[in-house]
Every structure is written in C-alpha cells, then in structure tokens.
Amino acid sequence: METYRLLKIKLTPQRLAILNYLNGNKSHPSAETIYKAVSQQFPTMSFATVYNTLETLLNKGSIRELKIEAGKKRYDYDIKPHHHIICIECNKIVDLYKDYKIPLPEEITQEFELINKNIEFYGTCQNCKKNN
C-alpha cells in the first residue's frame, strides 16, 4: 500500500484490486486474465480500466510487457531483470533471475550499443516428461 503510493497515481479501488492481483503473481497474466480475476470482486470492472491501468503502470515502468505468447500481450509486475523458461507442452513459465554476460560478435558491437537482453528458454517440465 505504501509502495503503491510511490507510483504517484490516483489509487482508485479498481487500481488497487489490479495491483493486488498482480503483486507477487507469478502467472504472467494477459489483460483478459486480469480482467476476469478482478471482476470477481468488482463486477462493474471494465476492460478499459484494466488496459488503462496497465498502460499507466507501463509508463511508470512498474510493469513489464511480455511477448511470450504470439499475438497476445502478457504482463509482469516483477520488473527485477529476469528471464523465462517455458514448457513447450503445458506452457508453464518459471522465472530465472540470473544476469548472463553474453559476448556479441564485433560486427554487432560495431553496429549496436547493447542496452538490454531477454532470454527465453524452452523445454519440457518434469510433469510433462513423466506423462509421455
């Protein structure tokens, strides 16, 4: 609650519901998932409010927009730099907090100044390996 105040945005009940849903959430939800979850407590919640809030949080740099699902945006309230490993069978996603130093070839460093990187690992999780 105190940390929410640091966002310097109007803390409406709807926004608090969204923030509380996202806080500590490791599911990397889409806008629709968020909408469905917060609608339970807030029957009048609209998509516009969800998208508007996500947009505001994005601009504040307090959430990350993920591209782990083609054609659909997903969100992560955890902005600590991290990568993801995704099960190609069940789509389970696990966070990986590790800062890798990856050397770029000279052709690239000549052309680009590196700022950031994002790694997606793909594999099969224990559960799915078992069920094969």
Partner DNA sequence: CTATCTGCAAACGTTTTGCATCTGT
Partner DNA sequence: ACAGATGCAAAACGTTTGCAGATAG
DSSP-derived secondary structure for 25-79: --S--BHHHHHHHHHHH-TT--HHHHHHHHHHHHHHT-SEEEEEETTEEEEES--
Binding partner of 51, given DNA, its own copies, none, CB within 5-8 angstroms per partner class: DNA
Taking the complex as a whole, the smallest distance from the CB of residue 92 to DNA amounts, in Å, to 18
Q: 73 or 82, CB closer to DNA?
A: 73
Main-chain dihedrals φ then ψ at residue 66, nearest 5 degrees: -105, 150
CA distances (Å), origin 124, targets 26, 69, 79, 129: 19, 17, 25, 6
Retrieve residue 93's tokens: 């996603």
Binding partner of 10, given its own copies, DNA, none, CB within 5-8 angstroms per partner class: DNA
Q: By CB under 8 A, tell whether 71 contacts its own copies.
A: yes
Binding partner of 100, given its own copies, DNA, none, CB within 5-8 angstroms per partner class: its own copies
The interface region with its own copies, picked from 1-9, 15-23, 34-42, 107-115 by CB under 8 A, is: 107-115
Q: By CB under 8 A, tell whether 130 contacts its own copies.
A: no
Q: By CB under 8 A, tell whether 33 contacts its own copies.
A: no
Angle between helices 13-22 and 47-60 (to 10 degrees): 70
Q: Note the residues at the interface with its own copies (CB under 8 A).
A: 65-73, 85, 87-88, 94, 96, 98, 100, 102, 104-105, 108, 110-126, 129
